[in-house]
């Protein structure tokens, strides 16, 4: 097998490993995050009623109970029903998405129904994700545009409000927003006990007071007059309170989808994930049979404890070694910077092998950039200037002594350290730096570069050494831009396996044998066409 084919196989292997391990970690983190954000609830209905005793010559007494349905943000894990003496069936309605538990009997008696649902909420999945585009049939459009006792479209008070709405070139969205603002802001809150008509649209618009049901009915009526199909939605806000009651909002068919609006809480076009609808097109969860007596309905909501696996997720296990985010927060910055160094080396390799810019080694530009990241930018510039001036001046002064290289470099290092120490003292006096530790890393790195500069100057001449200094500075500037990118650093801390892809890039770049861009510029005269 040739080296070229072997290199291609190795590159493919590292790419597969990088994508596979990164994908596994992403899925694991996603599941853990969702497990933390998710919440489980138990919703319970308790319904008591007494059926009419004279049912022999009448249709079956039918009790209809609205049921929650799976949504993108809510999953029904389990549901149980208890209804002794009643026949049951579950009906599903595709046009509205409703589900109903239908219970029937032909015997006059007292009955008790209990329904229990275990629900898991996924807050990450928003309402927008589950609202698909759809078309409204002619029958459904007529149903959600009709006028009746609950939605008196022809009422004088309704027509008066519509005449106040925007006219002319206003879009449907602007009109809808105006109607929502009117019902949400201009109507005062009231209760049915205080105001006997606060549920009726005509009374609400005349007195500017409304219950949640009255406010929702008013908005549905106004939307229908404006030519927008609208319907009520009844559901629950999943929060643990004593004696929870169903909440009512509306949906408007706008932009080829049903868009939610809640004038009571002020939600427009989006509802929080903890609002769970159980009946669309109605204002009650339970619909009692005709002639039923003493109907009593109670609801309860209980938040369930999280899964045991979530509570034990922080227990010590060997797999945590590969999760760098578990390290103390103070170490995250240093670890992120270390994980970015291979990317800095990748930039250096690209500039050296593809562009053709020479530098002091492979890691020198990345380390130089890291020194400016670790210290303040201004402090790094000052330290760089001091080290360069002290190093060049020391070399010039010691050149006439004709000393051996190692003692000479040691003297230069001593001079640099003295200059830097007093420079740090000056910066501290001027309050330009936090502590001497902020210059320790730049000092070490720059001192090493000065040593390499002197060695190169001794072996290849000062001109070539200065060329390498310029190249190292240019590449270090690009490395600095990458190392300064906090988002990339956090990404590499979370997914260190992505460096398998970096290794694959190194192999690809190591197999590059074409012309460098600098060489194309140097030898441009050789490729110019000859003049005839």
Concatenating the DSSP letter of every residue in 285-342 gives: SEEPPTT-EEEEEEEEEEEEPPPHHHHTTTS--GGGGG-GGGS-HHHHHHHHHHHHHH
Average pLDDT of span 474-486:
84
Average pLDDT of span 457-461:
77
Average pLDDT of span 294-322:
74
The contacts of residue 149 (CB under 8 Å, 6+ apart) are: none
Q: Is 259 exposed, middle or buried (0-12, 13-18, 19+ CB in 10 A)?
A: buried
pLDDT of amino acid 448 = 72
pLDDT for 87-108, tens place per residue?
Answer: 888 988 877 888 999 888 877 7
Q: Is 278 exposed, middle or buried (0-12, 13-18, 19+ CB in 10 A)?
A: buried
Average pLDDT of every residue of the chain? 80
- Count of positions (residues) in the chain: 532
Average pLDDT of span 442-460:
73
* Partners of 279 in the β-ladder: 234
Any idea which of 9-13, 33-37, 285-289 has the lowest mean pLDDT?
33-37
pLDDT for 54-67, tens place per residue?
Answer: 544 455 678 889 99
The SS3 of residue 273 is coil
230-237 and 61-67 beta bridge pairing:
unpaired
Q: Does residue 224 contact residue 287 with C-beta atoms inside 8 Å? A: no
pLDDT for 240-263, tens place per residue?
Answer: 888 889 999 999 998 888 899 999
pLDDT for 176-223, tens place per residue?
Answer: 999 999 898 888 887 665 566 788 888 888 888 888 899 999 999 999
* pLDDT range class, residue 234, cuts 50, 70, 90: very high
23-28-34 Cα angle (round to 5):
125
Residue 205 neighbours by CB distance under 10 Å: 26
Task: Name the more confident of 436 and 454.
Answer: 454
């Amino acid at each position: 097998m040739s080296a070229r084919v072997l290199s291609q196989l190795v590159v493919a292997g590292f790419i597969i490993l990088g994508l596979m391990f990164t994908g596994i970690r992403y899925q694991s983190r996603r599941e853990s995050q969702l497990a933390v954000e998710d919440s489980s609830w138990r919703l319970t209905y308790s319904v008591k009623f007494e059926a009419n005793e004279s049912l022999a010559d009448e249709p079956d007494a039918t009790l209809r109970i609205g049921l929650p349905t799976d949504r993108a943000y809510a999953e029904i894990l389990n549901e149980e029903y208890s209804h002794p003496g009643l026949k049951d069936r579950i009906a599903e309605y595709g046009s509205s998405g409703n589900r109903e538990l239908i219970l029937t009997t032909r015997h006059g008696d007292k009955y008790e129904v209990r329904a229990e649902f275990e629900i898991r909420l996924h807050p990450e999945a928003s309402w927008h994700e589950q609202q698909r585009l759809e078309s409204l049939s002619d029958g459904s459009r007529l149903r959600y545009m009709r006028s009746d006792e609950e939605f008196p479209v022809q009422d004088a008070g309704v027509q008066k409000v519509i005449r106040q709405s925007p006219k002319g070139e206003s879009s449907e969205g602007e009109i809808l927003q105006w109607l929502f603002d009117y019902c949400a802001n201009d109507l005062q809150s009231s209760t049915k006990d205080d105001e006997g008509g606060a549920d009726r649209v005509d009374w609400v618009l005349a007195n500017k007071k409304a219950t949640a049901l009255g406010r929702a009915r008013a908005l549905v009526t106004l939307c229908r007059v404006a030519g927008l199909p609208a319907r009520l939605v009844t559901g629950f806000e999943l929060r643990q309170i004593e004696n929870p009651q169903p909440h009512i909002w509306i949906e408007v068919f706008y932009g080829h989808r049903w868009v939610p609006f809640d004038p009571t809480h002020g939600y427009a076009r989006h509802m929080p994930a903890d609002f769970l609808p159980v009946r669309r097109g109605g204002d009650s969860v339970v619909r009692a049979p005709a002639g039923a007596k003493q109907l009593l309905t109670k609801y309860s909501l209980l938040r369930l404890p999280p899964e045991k696996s979530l509570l034990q997720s922080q227990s010590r296990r060997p797999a945590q070694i590969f999760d760098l985010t578990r390290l103390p927060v103070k170490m995250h910055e240093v670890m992120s910077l270390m994980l970015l160094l291979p990317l800095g080396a990748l930039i250096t390799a690209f500039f050296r092998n593809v562009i053709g810019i020479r530098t002091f080694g492979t890691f020198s530009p990345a380390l130089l950039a890291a020194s400016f990241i670790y210290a303040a930018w201004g402090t790094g510039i000052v330290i760089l200037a001091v080290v360069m001036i002290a190093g060049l001046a020391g070399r010039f002064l010691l050149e006439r002594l004709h000393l051996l290289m190692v003692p000479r470099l040691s003297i230069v290092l001593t001079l640099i350290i003295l200059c830097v120490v007093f420079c740090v003292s000056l910066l501290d006096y001027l309050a330009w730096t936090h502590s001497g530790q902020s210059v320790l890393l730049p000092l070490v790195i720059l001192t090493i570069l000065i040593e390499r500069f002197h060695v190169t100057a001794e072996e290849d001449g000062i001109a070539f050494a200065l060329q390498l200094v310029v190249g190292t500075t240019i590449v270090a500037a690009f490395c600095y831009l990458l190392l300064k990118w906090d988002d990339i650093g956090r990404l590499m801390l979370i997914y260190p396996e992505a460096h398998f892809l970096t290794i694959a890039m190194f192999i690809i770049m190591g197999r590059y044998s074409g012309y460098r861009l600098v060489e194309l510029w140097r030898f441009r005269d050789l490729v110019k066409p000859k003049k005839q």
